Chains A and B, each alone.
Chain A
Amino acid sequence: MPNLKDLKVRINSVQSTQKITSAMKMVAAAKLRRAQEQAEEARPYSQRMDRMIAALAGKMNNIGGPALLAGTGSEEKFLLVVMTADRGLCGGFNSSIVRATRKRIAELQGNGKSVKLLCVGKKGADQLRRDASDLITDALEGIAKGAIEFAAASDIGARLIQMFEAGEFDVCSLIYNKFQSAMTQIVTEQQIIPASVPEEADAAPSLGAYEYEPDEEQILAELLPRNVSTQVFSALLENTASEHGARMTAMDSATRNAGDMIDKLTLTYNRTRQAFITKELIEIISGAEAL
């Protein structure tokens, strides 16, 4: 028969776990709202950036354009920027990114390409270090603490461009979780170098009608690096929103599981107590009868 005191201790411990998980859920929900707002507010910038690039790229397609847009001409060296969270306890959030990354690495290496990784976020770096440590060029952390600043994204952007100019890779993609709802995040791979040009249909009406100051090439030379930073920035925002969403969902189900467990334990506790009382009664009665 389980010890009554042990059961009581067990129930208390599960109860305090439940308190923690429900507090974490609440915190995640608040952060999610903020992250979502931030992602929402940042959208106009990247939309308009896309529009400008589409307008320019439409013109540049005929004459080649800079390497950031047209590529280096070869597709041998790949850089994957893997975005994860710095902290765990958010369900399958980090593992699903790591899984997608591993799959992509295997696929690229199978085709004889070389792959390098740049990890943003502690958890992804930790997991990937186990089997792909020689591919990781660097791991950044601490970016998603508090509100994400554009400066952080533009640091990463500058770094990517520096590596690109040094010829360290031909193609660069971001792997991150796109936020769909608090329940679902979609692992997304997005190529940023060479820039994937948005559908021309969007820019068609005004295509080619622009005047340029100073000229197309100089504008593009400034615009493209900015665009890299912008895309990194919006990916970071999406990723953070997803992280909080995933954590909220995970903590919600953890709270519910703890509740189920408490119910079960309380039932056992009460049964045991009852059995104990019955036993004592029987002892008293049979003792009295024996007299």
Chain B
Amino acid sequence: MADTTLFELVSPEKLVMSKSVSMVVVPGAEGFFGVLPRHTSMLSTLAPGVIDVYEGDKVTDSLFVVNGFAEVTEERCTVLAEEVILVDDIDTDKYEKQIEALKDEASRSEGDSAEKIRKNIEEREHILAAMIKAKNT
């Protein structure tokens, strides 16, 4: 069919989703973009955020992705993501705890490793912020 595009969502563990959809909205690193059938071929990195899958006019699936890439061609849209979480299953507490633990570690270490942990914390806080935002909308 001409007015659907094949959407594939792949995590390292498995192929999470593979189906024909009418549109997907993907959180690109430089802003959200919608992928409709016959979209120009492109590659993009993703910001942590929510992918909305549209079938017809309705959103059928909303998935939160972390650390991902999107590959779009005329007939398909492939998203590779390191972590995929259903929006309803987002567990912010777990992330908050991880950040706490990292902060703890950062206060105990020095020099290069502390710098690295700080970066890690920043990255995670960024993800957490995106999660909270996703949960509340």
State the A residues within 8 Å of B (CB).
38, 41-42, 44-45, 48-49, 51-52, 55-56, 150, 153-154, 206, 209-214, 218-219, 222-223, 226, 230, 233
Interface of chain A: mostly helix, strand, loop or mixed: helix
Known: A45-B80, A52-B71, A219-B69. A211 touches B41 (CB 8 A): yes
User: B4 interface residue, CB < 8 Å from A?
Assistant: no
CA distance A132 to B109 in the complex (A): 32
Beta-carbon contact of B15 and A44 below 8 Å: yes
Beta-carbon contact of A44 and B10 below 8 Å: yes
Beta-carbon contact of B13 and A38 below 8 Å: yes
Per the 8 Å Cβ criterion, residues 1-45 of B in contact with A are 8, 10-15, 28-30, 40-45
User: B62 interface residue, CB < 8 Å from A?
Assistant: no
CA distance A154 to B123 in the complex (A): 15
Beta-carbon contact of A233 and B12 below 8 Å: yes
Query: What are the nearest 7 A-B pairs in CB distance?
Result: A41-B14, A211-B42, A213-B44, A150-B12, A44-B15, A45-B10, A210-B41
Beta-carbon contact of A214 and B69 below 8 Å: no
Per the 8 Å Cβ criterion, residues 26-79 of B in contact with A are 28-30, 40-45, 67, 69, 71, 73, 78
Closest to A213 in B: B44
Beta-carbon contact of A226 and B15 below 8 Å: no
Name 6 A/B residue pairs within 8 A (Cβ), A-sorted. Answer: A41-B15, A42-B12, A45-B80, A211-B43, A214-B44, A223-B69
CA distance A136 to B73 in the complex (A): 45
- Our pick among A48, A214, A219, A233 for the contact of B10 (Cβ within 8 Å) is A48
B73 CB to closest chain A CB (Å) equals 6
A144 CB to closest chain B CB (Å) equals 15
Question: Number of residue pairs across A and B with beta carbons under 8 Å?
Answer: 78
Beta-carbon contact of B69 and A212 below 8 Å: no
A117 CB to closest chain B CB (Å) equals 23
Known A-B contacts: A56-B43, A210-B71. Give 19 more (CB < 8 A): A38-B13, A42-B12, A42-B13, A45-B80, A48-B71, A48-B78, A48-B80, A49-B80, A52-B43, A55-B71, A150-B11, A150-B82, A153-B12, A206-B73, A211-B42, A213-B42, A214-B45, A219-B45, A230-B12
In the complex, what residues of B have CB within 8 A of residue A222's CB? 45, 69
Known: A45-B80, A154-B82, A213-B28. A55 touches B43 (CB 8 A): yes
Closest to A221 in B: B45
State the B residues within 8 Å of A (CB).
8, 10-15, 28-30, 40-45, 67, 69, 71, 73, 78, 80, 82
Beta-carbon contact of A51 and B71 below 8 Å: yes
In the complex, what residues of B have CB within 8 A of residue A212's CB? 42-44
Beta-carbon contact of A45 and B12 below 8 Å: yes
In the complex, what residues of B have CB within 8 A of residue A49's CB? 80
CA distance A196 to B11 in the complex (A): 22
Closest to A218 in B: B45
In the complex, what residues of A have CB within 8 A of residue B42's CB? 210-213
CA distance A212 to B71 in the complex (A): 10
In the complex, what residues of A have CB within 8 A of residue B45's CB? 213-214, 218-219, 222-223
CA distance A209 to B30 in the complex (A): 20
B42 CB to closest chain A CB (Å) equals 4
A206 CB to closest chain B CB (Å) equals 6
A279 CB to closest chain B CB (Å) equals 69
- Our pick among A38, A153, A206, A218 for the contact of B41 (Cβ within 8 Å) is A206
A221 CB to closest chain B CB (Å) equals 9
Beta-carbon contact of B29 and A213 below 8 Å: yes
CA distance A223 to B80 in the complex (A): 10
Closest to B40 in A: A211
In the complex, what residues of B have CB within 8 A of residue A211's CB? 40-43
A227 CB to closest chain B CB (Å) equals 10
